[in-house]
């Protein structure tokens, strides 16, 4: 029987919800590109429950234990004394979410001789050393598209929040004030602004579709150009390079995967090519931008605002400069783990496990690494190499 380690974020500080804000979820029939939603043979949870924290267990315990497998669920993932490190020696499967990632470095993979499958409950598998996984013939899979729209909605929220100066305005209310001039001194309309996305895949294209009704000018850069019909439908302007796009945009949103080619893409040099007073939104991965260059750009006014839902490492240390830099709209990595999204990625994780244990092929759009090479969606979205360097710094985080 197999040993499965499932790394999830901590439960709410007041315990798991006894009552939820809503009684049910809207029914989603399918994804925009025709891909079907996860299709496991069964689920052992109620849609809309908190599944992504430790007590939620992604709804997997009943299924796995009924087959005689051992399931270890923990939030302890960083440092040599973590539960993850202690349990890796005989683990066959490791599951984690991008929001609280189990960084599967080459060193960790070397300590897990029985490891055969690494699953991302969500999208984005950069927290795994894909090169090391390939060399060990370990399958890497994720639940592609399960939370792409969740993230796209978060991007639109962040853009509006930054441009309209929402967070400082809200804080004046909390303080008991009525400081209208302070609120609007940095508030603008998005109408007529030029907005561009770095990558126009599932998330980037969904962002553009949602911004079109705001009468913004839409731009994109992607190494895979969209069909002409889509460009005409949305009146999109394609740019051959990132540099060409950012110099004309008032708002830039990053929606590309993290891999060696995109790591540190938004460095001081690229930020200097952006329009002064532009806004940058990053719900992709923290390592795509230069941490300290972002801080400096906000301090000098080169950027008018930065909103990010992603950090590096995760969780971010308490002294991470993004917590205190000016004009930011940072959130902990929550964009893709709404209760709606959790229902889909928990079901998708169950589907992947059913396929694995029953000897059936994992659907191609879920595969990142298979049979020693990039495969499925991984072959389109990633490049060979490793982007986990520096992840050991996550051990510095101390929950209050």
By annotation, the residues acting in catalysis are 147, 285, 314, 333
d(CA 151, CA 204): 9
Of 351, 378, 355, nearest to 37 (Cα)?
351
d(CA 27, CA 153): 17
d(CA 51, CA 338): 10
Task: Report DSSP letters for 194-247, one per residue.
Answer: EEEEE--SHHHHHHHHHHGGGTPEEEEE-SSPPPHHHHHHHTEEEESSHHHHHT
Radius of gyration, CA atoms only, the chain? 21
DSSP state of 89: G
> What is the maximum alpha-carbon separation in the chain?
65
What is the token pair recorded at 82?
Answer: 């973590």
d(CA 157, CA 159): 6
d(CA 222, CA 204): 10
Can you tell me whether residue 252 is helix, strand or coil? strand
d(CA 195, CA 248): 9
d(CA 30, CA 54): 28
């Amino acid at each position: 029987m197999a040993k499965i380690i499932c790394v999830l974020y901590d439960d709410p500080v007041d315990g798991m919800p006894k009552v939820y804000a809503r009684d049910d979820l809207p029914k989603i029939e399918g994804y925009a590109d025709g891909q079907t939603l996860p299709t496991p043979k069964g689920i052992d949870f109620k849609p809309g429950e908190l599944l992504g924290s430790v007590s939620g267990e992604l709804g997997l315990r009943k299924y796995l234990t009924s087959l005689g497998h051992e399931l270890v669920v923990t939030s302890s993932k960083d440092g040599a004394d973590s539960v993850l490190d202690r349990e890796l020696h005989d683990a066959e499967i490791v599951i984690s979410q991008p929001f609280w990632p189990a960084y599967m470095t080459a060193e960790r993979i070397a300590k897990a001789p029985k490891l055969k499958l690494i699953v991302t409950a969500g999208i984005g598998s950069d927290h795994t050393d894909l090169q090391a996984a390939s060399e060990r013939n370990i399958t890497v899979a994720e639940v592609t598209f399960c939370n792409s729209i969740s993230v796209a909605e978060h991007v639109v929220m962040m853009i509006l929040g930054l441009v309209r100066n929402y967070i400082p305005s809200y804080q004046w209310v909390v303080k008991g004030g009525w400081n209208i001039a302070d609120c609007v001194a940095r508030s603008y309309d998005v109408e007529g602004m030029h907005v561009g996305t770095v990558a126009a895949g599932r998330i980037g294209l969904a962002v553009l579709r949602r911004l079109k009704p705001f009468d913004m000018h839409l731009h994109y850069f992607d190494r895979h150009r969209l069909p002409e019909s889509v460009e005409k439908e949305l009146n999109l302007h394609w740019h051959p390079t990132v540099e060409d796009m950012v110099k004309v945009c008032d708002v830039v949103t990053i929606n590309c995967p993290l891999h060696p080619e995109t790591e540190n893409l938004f460095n001081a040099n690229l930020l200097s090519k952006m329009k002064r007073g532009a806004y940058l939104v990053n719900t992709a991965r923290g390592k795509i931008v230069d941490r300290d260059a972002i801080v400096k750009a906000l301090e000098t006014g080169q950027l008018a605002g930065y909103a990010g839902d992603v950090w590096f490492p995760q969780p971010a240390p308490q002294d991470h400069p993004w917590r205190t830099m000016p004009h930011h709209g940072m959130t902990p990595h929550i964009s893709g783990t709404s209760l709606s999204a959790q229902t889909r990625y928990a079901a998708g994780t169950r589907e992947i496990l059913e396929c694995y244990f029953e000897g059936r092929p994992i659907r191609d759009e879920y595969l990142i690494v298979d049979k020693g090479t990039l495969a499925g969606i991984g072959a389109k979205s990633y490049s060979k190499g490793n982007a986990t360097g520096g992840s050991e710094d996550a051990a510095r985080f101390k929950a209050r």
